[in-house]
Structure 1
Amino acid sequence: MSHNVKILPGATVCEDCTLEGDITIGSGTVIHPRVTIIAEGGPIVIAEYCIIEEYSTIIHKKSDNQENPPKPLFIGAHNVFEVGCKVESIFGHIGEYNVFECRCFVGPDVKISSGCVVGASCKLSAPQTLVDNTVIWGSDHNIREALEKQPSQLLQLDFLSKVMPNYHRLRKPNGHKRQPSRQSTEAGK
């Protein structure tokens, strides 16, 4: 397996993590030590401002009907993967502003939209789609719609990016920031 890890400027990635395969880590994203990210079913692209905490695992699984070339797994911006969570995916997209709480498990046949919360120790393995703002919690896997949008983690990201270099060896950025597309710059006018 080739190891093509691209870390964009502004990302904070601890050296003590396992990154296997073709992985791109967006600016402002923080990856703690002891994280495992494996791109076995195709490239993984992690967008900006995600937090991936200790002992978290993200795997882009191979599927039985694998496309050639394989479709990348795109993980949207502002996602939080808490300590010990495990997220497997054969799909090409995880939305934005999701929280995967401590020790939860999300199986490869689960599609995650945006604004979802998978509660601590919840295990989702049956094929299903979590629509926007779905919250799953408790030992009975209760489901409800979120009452409000997930808050931004920008203050925590700022704090982590300043403090982590004092306590951990970091991998150096080796990628280049993408130029904003013409569409997004015109939308900002």
Structure 2
Amino acid sequence: MNKKYIYNILSIVTVIITVAMFFSCSDNFNKIQKMGVSENEPIGVAENINLKHTDSGRVTANLLSAKMLDYSNRDFPYNEFVGGITLYVYDEDNKKSTIISDYAISYDKTGLIDLQGNVVITTHDGNVLKTEQLYFDKKREWLFTNVPVTFTTKQDIIKGNGFDSNLKFTNAEVLEVTGIISLDD
């Protein structure tokens, strides 16, 4: 064989290999981003959180937590409050309601917050809800659970096996009531 023929064959093989290499490359940016982070580890940790939310210059909420783990690098991102939370919520008249729980997890995509362990909500007018687990739907501004609850108002202590309410407690409903309720004649 002559040199020109061998040179042409080598050139064609080189071009084929080069093209194959380019097509075999893919966009692995997300994989590269996660390389230094273990699959089960948070991407960030925050301690002694004191977060204030304002609306038109007025504080509407104040979140306190000992420790938050940030898993926003996951396919289903969330934040975990392993040190529990204390949340102060202020209404339009600056009246404060308090939400406390031993543990909380907030899911970014669904807007759902799962409060667990010794959940206590105390409204500005003295109503108290106690339960072991409570969900808050941020989009609908709705509280709900299907576990036992105790709801204390100024005149009643109502126990039940579930709870539904809007954020202001104007539509509060204890489900499957097991307590004693006073009724007006």
TM-score (norm 2): 0.30
Higher helix share: 2
**Higher RCO, Cα 8 Å, sep 6+:** 1
TM-score (norm 1): 0.30
Q: Say which one has the larger Rg.
A: 2
Higher strand share: 2
